[in-house]
Structure formats: C-alpha cells, structure tokens
Homo-oligomer: A and B are copies of this chain.
Amino acid sequence: MDQEENAKITSSFESLSRESKELYLHSCVSETEVEPTALQFMKKCVSPNLPLIIREGCKYWPATSKWSHEYLRSVIGNKFVTVAVTPNGYADAIREGQFVLPEERKIKFSDFLDIIENPDKTNGVYYVQKQDSSLVKEFQEIAEDVPKEIVFASLALEKKPDAINFWMGDKRAVTSMHKDPFENIYGVIKGHKDFILIPPTDLPWIPYKTVPQAVYKETTGQFEIVSLEDSDPIPWIDIDPLNPDVEKYPKFKNAHMLRCRVHAGDLLYLPSMWFHHVRQTQGCIAVNYWYDMDYDIKYAYYTMLETLCTGKPPEDYIEPL
C-alpha cells in the first residue's frame, strides 16, 4: 500500500480517537439522580450521542415492586413464550467461524421460571430476549406494569417507541458486542446488568468478520451448530471484550471501553450506534424501549468512517435471520 495514503487514513483514525477522547467522551458513563427534561436529554445525551444512567429512574414503576416469580407465575405462568437456548450463553455470536443464532423454543413461562430457579438441572442456557416488541406481543398481561413510553424521550425525539422488549434470563447468557440503529432506554427491574460500551467513533479499532450464519439445535441432549444454507453471510464483531485477543487484534486496545452497572430501579440511555456487550445476574429482568434513530449528520459521518474501514460504501444492513 502507498505509504502516504495509508498514513492519511491512519492519521484520520487517530485524530478521531484523540479528539473524541479530549472533546466529548468522558472516562465513565455520566449519572444523574434526577430525570432529565426533554431538552436536557436532547442537549446532553442524544445530540452529543452520550450515554447516561438515571439512578432510580424506574424505581417507582409498578413492575419494580410487582414482578416477583410468584406474581409472574400467577399471571403468565401458563403462557407459552419464546426462549433463546444455547449451550453456553452465547447467542448471536461468532462460534467456530459462524454467526450462531440461538435455538428458539416456545415453552410455558412457569417452566422457564423453574429453569431460572434451578439452572443446573437443565441442559443449556435460557434467555427471554426476543426483540420484536416482545413485551407488547408476548407479555401483554404484564405490560401495564411499565409505562407505554419514556415521556422525556418521546418528547425529545418527537416519536413513540418503535419497540418495547422484555428480557429475563440466566446469568451465563451474554449479549455479544454489537450496535443497534436505535436510541435505547433500558430499565432494569430485578437484579443488575453490566454493560461494556464503546462509542461509534472507535469503529476503526473493532474487528469485524463476515461469516456464514448457523443456528444451535439440541438433539439427544447435545447442542449442534447447523448451517443456515440459504442465509447471507453476515459481518459481526469478532472479539470478546471480556477477554480480547489483542495478539490477533492489537488495535482493539485503542477502543474506549466504558463499563457501567445498572441496578434494579435504574434507567440507562444507550445511544444509537454505540457498541455494547451485556451481562446480568441470575433471573435479572429488564425492559427496554427502542426509539428509531434520526439519520442525521452523525450517521453520514459514520458511513464515511465505515467506508474507510471496509473500503466499500455501506450497504443496507444484512439482518440476522
């Protein structure tokens, strides 16, 4: 490669990293104990694309006091709900050179609670994590226990949530590093969640790999990885931030990892396009609100960065099957 041009690109990535750190990124996720107004949320969070924890932001939602296992058994115990099952907790992650989806099963919610209460008695790791507005679609009987929208966010963004999702699962279940084109408000109802966040400006340091898609299938007590022959290969992040292979990907050391713990009763604003990796305590329950992001100047700049990293103009996102 031509050294002059190569140096320009490297230098531009370094400028972005340095200016991001010096100008707009903080060394940790900002916190507040007072719910922001719509204007504050727009000015301090959405416009600069910066995360915020609102301590006790969902403490007084009915769900936070009501959603015991007993209550959930009594109200929705007999319902069949969609559960993601994997051998190791890694759904939607690269395994053996493939992007492996979890096995989706429909089981009674009371059976799911039995598994969460006694995880060692069952083969596999169970996680309710369907992201198709699952709270409204699959858990409508308890949807009234949380607000229909986050008012300061709806006012700021001038829209209603696009989806509200219900999350509950095993402490071994890990959401692998990825990003979403949504402004995300995450409310933890029970337990706590640990987030690792990396800003979109760190894209040059994040290793992507385009891999074929596959899915876990449990047969005779063993999990197999089954290729999805008709699916398109998908670009996914090939690094575990908990144990990064910096021999293979030395540039990952340049990424600005922000870690935060979101406790029961707290809200996290997770800005659009931020890379995030999530873990939780056993039986942790959360509800998140996705608001469609605005495709504005920040996104236009991001596409430039993506083109520089990949050498190709961005295509429409290939969604996992």
Partner-B contacts on A (CB < 8 A): 1-2, 4-9, 11-16, 18-20, 23-24, 38-39, 42-43, 46-50, 155-158, 199-201, 294-308, 311-314
Is the Cβ of B23 less than 8 Å from the Cβ of A295? Answer: yes
Partner of A13, one of B20, B43, B304: B304
So how many copies of this chain end up in the complex?
A: 2
Name the residue among A50, A299, A314 with the largest chain B CB count within 10 angstroms: A299
Taking CB atoms, residues of chain B closer than 8 Å to A303 are 15-16, 19
Nearest-neighbour CB distance to chain B for A305, whole angstroms, equals 7
CA distance A217 to B24 in the complex (A): 44
B296 touches A16 (CB 8 A): no
A301: which B residues are within 8 A, CB to CB? 16, 201, 298, 301-302, 304-305
21 A-B pairs (CB sep. < 8 Å)? A1-B5, A8-B307, A12-B307, A14-B307, A15-B303, A15-B306, A15-B313, A15-B314, A16-B307, A19-B299, A20-B300, A23-B295, A23-B296, A23-B299, A38-B39, A39-B39, A39-B42, A43-B157, A43-B158, A304-B304, A308-B308
CA of A2 to CA of B11, assembled, Å: 16
Known: A19-B300, A156-B43, A298-B298. A7 touches B311 (CB 8 A): yes
Q: How far is the CA of A300 from the CA of B17 in the complex (A)?
A: 8
Chain B residues in 8 Å Cβ range of A201: 297, 300-301
Task: Report the Cα distance A304→B2, complex, angstroms.
Answer: 20
Chain B residues with Cβ below 8 Å from A2 are: 1-2, 5-6
B7 contacts A300, CB within 8 Å?
no
Top-8 shortest CB links A-B: A2-B2, A5-B5, A47-B47, A301-B301, A16-B304, A48-B296, A12-B307, A19-B300
A294→B254 CA distance, assembly (Å): 24
A307: chain B residues within 8 A (beta carbon): 8, 11-12, 14-16
Instruction: Determine how close the nearest CB of chain B comes to the CB of A27; give it in whole angstroms.
Output: 16
Per the bound structure, the CA–CA distance linking A95 and B314 in Å amounts to: 41
